[in-house]
Amino acid sequence: MSDPGPGERQELLRQVTLAVRLHQNAYDRFEDAAADYVGVNRTAMRCMDVLERAGRLTAGEIAVQTGLSSGAVTALLDRLERAGYVRRLRDTADRRRVWVELTEAAIARAGEVYEPLAGVTAEFARYSDADIRLITSYLQRGSEVLLAQADRVEQLRRDREARTRPAAP
């Protein structure tokens, strides 16, 4: 099979870009439904996802991984704790450090939503190991690009706010 010509290559790139956008829309819809079912907002779901992957983190580590301010994380954790989805634990070696972890209730509720997806992975058995490595690489690079662009847009917002902020008297 020969390499596609320049026009065909542009069309392939357009198609993959469209597929990624449609995938993101489907992901957003699923996550909206999941958050609604769990009874929290998408930001709380992102925080719970970070905790599920890490096991336990400090509030500061959650702030770094979610891009939220420390104040926003504190308010978010207060809401999640009241809902019974996280608990705060003092570090036994350093009483100043407080760990945050998911509760069994959070794990069970999230499991109702996400565990059926594990069965769907059989859908991907048709792909070769090389295909799966390529897909994984593409998604990882895509995540890096999106995070860099998020940083860029956040900086644009800060710059705009700095330009429009009234001068101090």
**Are 54 and 136 found together in one domain?**
no
Half-sphere exposure of 159 (CA within 13 A, CB side): 6
Q: Does residue 55 contact residue 44 with C-beta atoms inside 8 Å?
A: no
Instruction: Show the domain range for 51.
Output: 6-119
Predicted structure pTM score: 0.78
pLDDT score at 6 = 76
Number of domains in the chain: 2
Work out the angle at residue 18's Cα, subtended by the Cα atoms of residues 1 and 24, and round it to the nearest 5 degrees: 125
Q: Clarify whether residues 139 and 59 are in a common domain.
A: no
pLDDT in tens, 126-168: 899 999 999 999 999 999 999 899 899 989 999 999 998 887 7
CATH number reported for the structural domain that contains residue 107 in this entry: 1.10.10.10
Residue 102 per-residue DSSP state: E
Determine, yes or no, domain membership for 89: yes
Residue 13 C-beta-side C-alpha neighbours within 13 Å:
7
Which residue stretches of the chain have pLDDT < 70?
A: 1-2
